[in-house]
Every structure is written in structure tokens, then in C-alpha cells.
Chains A and B, each alone.
Chain A
């Protein structure tokens, strides 16, 4: 049979149970390897080695509560650095070793093929896991997260665009309302508000800002004049008061001088010295200055009186000086104010000249008084009332100018907004239907895409499940994404007549196991199976006998053909026996048997149990032929042949407890009626057939059957005297019948589909007749 496999050897060193170097050699002609071994023989280590190489992990240690599992990678007593897993495949040798953090692969960092490992411990997870974990398991087939992200962005954009369109429509309505209102207020006579607005903005007003500024400047200058007037009036009054005060002080001084005897200051100092003297010394009999005794009495009193008159005079003089000073200061203020008034009036006139002629003409009389003021600085000529009226009018005039400008700006802005909103709405309105159409396409195609993938997976799972459990799989298994939760997948099946039931709620463990296996195989086959090595570690554990036969014969053999290589480990002994006896289609399968593991030798292959036909061939072709062994093997094989033929042709055999013997069965098939019809067409490599008759051989074997016991089963004196050639002839004849009947690749003919004969797969053997001749 053609094979995809390029696996040659697997070498395992210091890894898990491999305490010594262990190497498996794969048959290059077989793409299915069955590794048989009892529990504890090292099957899982072999699967772990593939996992280590292909996936950088040791799955058998996961989920066992070990915490850090790296310490358990190496064989006991060795370190991670000693680990080596080496696979010769595709003409290269791939090595996996452990460094401090990860698994390092060489010669390249990735394998050119995938390795998918299914273990007994994880088989149920595919069925029973939560929807999220199921989704994760299927993620490689249905991961469209990038597309969903883009679809979400599209949905968001459509929402935003619709909102923008709605917003534009609302704004257009607002703009229209505003223009309608302004149009009505204008009472322009133009029949349409939009036409009116277009006309208005065609004739923009001159910029009123300069005019407003000039009027405001003139008004401000006039207000300055009025402010100065408020200062000038009290200043003038104060100046007048100061003049009067100076006059009074001068008159008071004249009076004081007249009353004073002397205005001589030196005289005042003499009087002050005399007073000080008399305060300290009593007045004697004479004047201390002139020593005259005349009028000495009362001298101290008179000195005091003279000093009092001199003080009044001094004070009068001071008052004159003070009032003169005050007068001059007030006069200076008045003069300063006058100057400022002239300056302000000059400035005001300049600004009035720059202001609106309309406004200045309206207030000409009042403004002319400013000219007078400018000339003499006298504000009394200023028309204060008229000036105030001019200032108030300036405010109103400016406000009117501003209102006109604002009115125009409002119309212009609203009309511009209206046009912009119309344009925006039109643009969005063109895009929105396209976005809606795009989203519709995205949603439908995404759903269809996922549905088709999930449906294909479910169909494939159902097809495989149907093989193991006829009538229970096809169109009854569904995979559904939960539309309400991202990354959530439900597995459902029909139970009795009730669809969409969770299988783990109703199925037996055996059914769940086989369902998990089907899911695994379906997923592994969906993506690049020709570049995938499938490894299954003792997955037949809980599957019961009838189902395991169908699983092995009808599913695993068939499905494994699509993969690069399939490796199945098992401790299921009937599989090995059926393999040996050729009851299975062995063409694509190789059997490797493991011996018992021990710490010293580690994992070891055992001498494989040979197929009896093969074994017989070995004994016959030995030099010299191993007669005893040949007769023993021939006897066993002949029993198997008789067992097969009596079953196929429903021969009458004695019914009793215990196994039927050769003596019970051979006479039933080696009878003329059957023997005459028994023949096998053996297909040759070129497709032609060579016919071998069986009946004559079976009749001869019936006559020779005792040779089996004489040479092969018991110690018997007859073996000493009978020709050894008889023993060899017996063995060769059984071998001829066996070779005709049993195909090395396809086993025994078991299919009656032709309606004429029993055939092996591919019709490498055709056994006639189909029914026992009557």
C-alpha cells in the first residue's frame, strides 16, 4: 500500500522512562504503527517524546497537580541537559533538547510537519470542557478574530455615520428655522428665505469697527472734558477762597504791626532774654541791663506784656506767608487744570473731526463750545448738557452699527453652516447605504463561513462516530457558536429523539470516549493531514469490545491513511492477536511490541509475535526445516483455517463446552460437496488472478492431520519411524492453503459484497463459493 510516511527512527535518551538509549525503527512502507505493551512498558514515554519534539511539552504530566513539571522531564537520576529526543524524518534528523527555559529544536526551530497528540487522560476534555475551552480547541479552524475586529469597526463606523447624518439633518433644520426667523424679521419682500439670505450675504456692510472706534474715542474725549470740569470748578472756588484769606491775613498783619512797639527782632530777643532772666532771678533795685532804678517796679510784668504783643505780630506775619502760599498753590492747580482742559479740548476736537460726520453734525452746537474752551481753557463756556447728549447719542449710534454687523454676520454664518451641513449630509448619505451593504455582506459571509466550517467538522465527527456507533452519529452531532458570548462553542447531539442535548449528560463513558476520539481525528484531519503525525496514547481504554473492533478495523485503519503517520499505543491484547492472525487489514500497519520496563534497561522492544503463517514459513524455510515447530505452527494455522471455513459456510459442528478441535472441524469442510467448490483467486502484482483449489488440499490434510500430533504436539514413538518428509509435506500443504486464503496485507476474505464470493479489501483474495453448496 502506498504510504505518506517518511519516519525512519525515533531515538529517546534520558527522557521520562527512557533510562537508557531507546530507538524505534519504523517500517518505511507503513504509515500506521501500533505499539503494543503492557501497562508500565513505556508507551506513554514514546508519546511524550513526540509531544516534546513537536510541541515542546510533556502532556502526560500536565493536570496532575505536580506544579513545576520540568523537573520530571528527565529520566530519574539525570538532568534536563541530558535529554535528547531525535526523530529521523523527511530525510533529516530533528533533535529536541531542553535548555533552562524551553525545548530547543534543531537543525531548525520549527518542524516541517505537525505532531498532534491525544491521550487517554485528555480525550474527554474535547467533549466535556466548557464552551470556551471547546472554542479554544477549535480556534485554529475558526479563529476569525481579525475579521471580527474589522467587522466591529465597520459596525461602529456605520453607527457613527448614521449619527452624523442625523445630526446634519437636525442642524439643517435649525439653520432653516433661524434663517426663516431672520427673513421674517427683515420683512424684505423677497418671497423665499434662502433666496433672501443669499442676497443679503452678497452685499456685506463696510467694516463698522473703525467708525465705532472713532465715535467712541470722541465720546471718551468729551467725557474727559466733563471730568476735568468736575475738577476745575472746586479748584477755582478754592483759589478764590485762598485769595480772600491772603487779603485778610495782610490786614491782620498791618494791625499787629501798628500795635507792636518795635518790630525789631533783636529787641524781641532782648525781651525773651529778660523774661528768662526774671524767671530765674528776682528783679532787683535796678534794671539789670541799664542799671537804672527808674521804673524798676513791675519791670518783669511789663517785659511779659511786651513779649505778648510781639507774638501777635509774629503770628500775623506767619499767617500772611501761609495764606500767600496757599493762594499760589491753588492758583497753580487752576492754571494746571486750565492747561489740561485746553489739551483735552484739542484732543477731543481732533477725535470729533475723525468721528462720523452724521453724529458730529447732529451735535454741532454742543461740540462748538469745545472750540471755545480750547481757546481759553475756560470750561464755563462748555455746553455740558449738549456734550452729555452727544456722548449718549454716540453709544446708541455705535450699538446700531454693531447690531447691523452682527445681524449680517449671523445670516452669513447660519447660511454657511446650512450649506456645509447640506454638503455633509449629502456626502454621508451617499456612503451610509454602501456601509450598510458592506456590513450585511460581512455578517452573512462570516456566519456562512463559520457555519460551513462547524458543519463540516460536525459532519466529519458524525461520520466517524457513525462508524463506531452505527445509527447514532450521522446528522446528529452539531457544533454551535454562542451568539451572545464571544469565543464560546457548544457541542450537542441527538439523544433518542431529542436533538441538541449535551452528550455528557446522557452518553456512557465509552460513548463519550469514542466521541472525543472522533472529534480529535476530525480536527487533526481538517488541517494539512498529509503533514501531520497523529499520536494516540492508549485511547481505547474504556471503549467496550464490540465498539473497539469497529473503531480499530473500520475507523483507525481507514482514517490513519490520510495522515503523514499515525502512531497508536495500546495495551489492548485482542488487537495484537487479531493483528497476528490476520483478522485485521495489516497492509498499512506495523506492530511494535514493548517488553517489560525496568530501571536498568529502561524501555525495550520485545520480539514481536509473528503471524502464524509467517511463523510457519520461517520454520519450513529453515535449514534444515524445523519440523516439530513447523508441524505445531501448521496445526494451529489449520485450526484457524477450519474455524474460518466452518463459520463462513455454516458447517455443522458438534456443540459442546470448550473449544472445537481439528478433528471436529476438518471433516466438516473436507467433504466432497464443499471441497469441489472451494477455490481462491489470488491477485497477482499485475492485477491478474491465479486460481488455487483448496478442496483437494483439505482432503489431503484430513488424511495427514495426525502428523500434527505425532510431530508437533506430543512425544510419540511414531515420529521415530515415519518419514520426516511426511511432516514437511503436512506443514507445506497447510502453508499453501494458508497462503492462498490469507493475504499478508489485507488478512482474511470477509466481505460478501460481490454476491459471488468472499473477498478481502481490494479483492486481493476471492474465495468461492459464497454459500455452502447444497
Chain B
């Protein structure tokens, strides 16, 4: 049975991915860090920044 931490983290991370705030890959990494209690402020920035870069590169590849 999932703990409240796991349950909430799961639904929030899914919402973040769905809203396009972070890629699936970055969300997965973020989720692991949250549940390990090791997430730092800069992890959030990097998750968003990396996701933007990945999106930009994907767009270039697409073009």
C-alpha cells in the first residue's frame, strides 16, 4: 500500500509531466529524489531547464 508521500508524489509528478513542465525522464528523476528526501532547490531548476533543452533539441531534430 503506498504511503501518502508516495501517493501524492505520484499524482503531482504525473500532473507536472502532463502540463509539460518537465519531461517524463526528468519527472522520474525528480520523483526518485523527492521520495528519497534528497531533492534540492536546484534540482527543480535543472529539471525544467533540461526539459526545455530536450524539447528544443527535439524540435530541431523534427525540423
B37 CB to nearest A CB, Å: 5
B52 touching A431, Cβ below 8 Å? yes
Shortest distance between the CB of A450 and any CB in chain B (Å): 8
Quick one: given A149-B37, A441-B16, are A157 and B5 in contact (CB under 8 Å)? no
**For residue A453, which residues in chain B have a CB less than 8 angstroms away from its CB?**
4
- The answer, yes or no, to whether A144 is at the interface (CB within 8 Å) is yes
Rounded to whole Å, the gap between the CB of A326 and the closest CB of chain B is 83
| Chain A residue contacts of B37, Cβ below 8 A | 146, 149
The range of chain B's interface size is 20 to 34
For residue A480, CB closer than 8 A to chain B, the reply is no
Complex CA distance for A445 and B19, rounded to whole angstroms: 13
Return chain A residues, CB-CB under 8 Å to B59: none
CB contacts under 8 Å to B, within A401-432, are 427, 430-431
**Chain A residue at minimal CB-CB distance from B35:** A146
Find out whether the CB atom of A437 lies under 8 angstroms from the CB atom of B34.
no
| Contact of B1 with A by CB under 8 A | yes
Known: A144-B5, A437-B21. A431 touches B49 (CB 8 A): yes
Chain B residues contacting A445 (CB-CB under 8 Å) are: 8, 11-12, 15
Let me know if A446 and B52 touch, CB within 8 A. no
**Is A156 part of the binding interface, using a Cβ–Cβ cutoff of 8 Å?**
yes
Contacting pair B42 A146 (CB below 8 A): no
B58 CB to nearest chain A CB (Å): 16
A685-B39 Cα distance, complex, nearest whole Å: 60
Q: Are B1 and A435 in touch, CB under 8 angstroms?
A: no
Q: Cβ of A153 and Cβ of B41 under 8 Å apart?
A: yes
Residue-wise, chain B 1-31 has the 8 Å CB interface mask toward A (1 for contact) of 1011101110110011001011000000010
Contact with B along A131-159 (1 / 0, CB 8 A): 00000000011111111011001101110
Among A146, A158, A437, A438: residue with most chain B CB under 10 A: A146
Least CB distance from A369 to B in Å reads: 70
Contacts of A157 in B (CB 8 A): 41-42, 44-45
Q: Does B57 contact A (CB under 8 A)?
A: no
Our pick among B9, B12, B45 for the contact of A441 (Cβ within 8 Å) is B12
Contact B1–A449 (Cβ < 8 Å): no
Knowing A441-B19, A441-B21, A445-B11 touch, does A156 contact B41 (C-beta < 8 A)?
yes
Interface size range of chain A in the complex = 20 to 34
Contact among B7, B11, B48 with A435 in the assembled complex (CB-CB below 8 Å) = B48
A141 to B37, CA, bound (A): 18
- Is B40 an interface residue when CB atoms closer than 8 A count as contact? yes
Decide if B1 touches A528 in the complex (CB within 8 Å).
yes
Q: Which A residue's beta carbon lies closest to that of B33? A: A150
- With A149-B37, A431-B45 as given contacts, are A446 and B8 in contact (CB-CB < 8 Å)? yes
Which label, helix, strand, loop or mixed, suits the secondary structure of the A interface?
A: helix
Given contacts A144-B4, A446-B12, contact A149 B48 (CB under 8 A): no
Distance A743 CA – B63 CA, assembled complex (angstroms):
79
Consensus secondary structure, chain B interface: helix
Bound form: Cα–Cα A442–B41 in Å: 14
Which of A156, A160, A445 gathers most chain B CB within 10 Å? Answer: A445
Q: Which residues of B contact A176 (CB under 8 A)?
A: none
B39 to chain A, nearest CB (A): 4
Does the CB pair B48–A150 fall under 8 Å? no
Alpha-carbon distance between A453 and B33 when the two chains are bound, in angstroms:
24
Chain B nearest Cβ from A90, distance in angstroms: 18
Complex CA–CA separation, A449 to B4 (angstroms) = 9
- Of B8, B22, B45, the most chain A CB neighbours within 10 A belong to B8
Contacts of B42 in A (CB 8 A): 157
| Residue A161 is within 8 A (CB to CB) of chain B in the complex | yes
A145 engages B5 (CB within 8 Å): yes
A153 and B39 form a contact (CB under 8 A): yes
Cβ contacts under 8 Å, A438 to chain B = 16, 19, 21-22, 44, 48
Provide the bound-state CA to CA distance between A140 and B11, in Å. Answer: 18
Given A437-B19, A446-B12: A147 and B34 interface contact (C-beta under 8 Å): yes
Q: How far is the CB of B12 from chain A (nearest CB, A)?
A: 5
Q: Give complex CA distance A435, B45 in Å.
A: 7
Of chain B, the residue at the smallest CB distance from A139 is: B4
Asked whether A527 is an interface residue with its Cβ less than 8 Å from the other chain, the reply is: yes
Give A446 to B1 CA distance when docked, in angstroms. Answer: 19
Provide the residues of chain A in CB contact with B30, threshold 8 Å. Answer: 150
| A157 to chain B: closest residue by CB | B41
Question: Considering only CB atoms, which chain B residue lies closest to A159 in the complex?
Answer: B41
Which B residues touch A161, using CB under 8 A?
45
A550 at the interface (CB under 8 A from B): no
In the complex formed, the residue of B with least CB distance to A430 is B52
A45 to chain B, nearest CB (A): 32
CB neighbours (8 Å) of B43 from chain A are 153
Contact A434 B52, beta carbon cutoff 8 Å: yes
Chain B residue with Cβ nearest A428: B45
Q: Given A150-B39, A438-B16, A441-B15, A141–B44 Cβ distance below 8 Å?
A: no
In the complex, the answer to whether A449 meets B8 with C-beta atoms within 8 Å is yes
Residues of B within 8 A of A158 (CB): 44
Please report the C-alpha to C-alpha distance between residue A300 and residue B2 in the assembled complex, in whole angstroms.
138
Inside 8 A of B48's CB, which chain A residues have their CB? 431, 434-435, 438
C-alpha gap A154/B48 in the complex (Å): 11
A 445-460 to B, binary, CB cutoff 8 A, 1 in contact else 0: 1100100010000000
Q: Please name 30 pairs of A and B residues whose Cβ atoms are closer than 8 Å in the assembled complex, sorted by A.
A: A142-B4, A146-B5, A146-B9, A146-B37, A147-B9, A147-B34, A149-B34, A149-B37, A149-B39, A150-B9, A153-B39, A153-B41, A153-B44, A156-B41, A157-B41, A157-B44, A158-B44, A427-B49, A430-B52, A431-B48, A438-B48, A441-B15, A441-B19, A441-B21, A442-B12, A445-B11, A445-B12, A449-B7, A449-B11, A527-B1
Interchain residue pairs A-B with the least CB separation, the first 6: A157-B41, A150-B34, A150-B39, A146-B5, A434-B48, A156-B41
Binding site for B on A (CB under 8 A): 140-147, 149-150, 153-154, 156-158, 160-161, 427, 430-431, 434-435, 437-438, 441-442, 445-446, 449, 453, 527-528
Q: A153-B39, A431-B45, A431-B48 are in contact. List 11 more A-B contacts (CB 8 A).
A: A149-B34, A153-B41, A154-B44, A156-B41, A157-B41, A157-B42, A438-B16, A441-B21, A445-B8, A445-B11, A446-B8
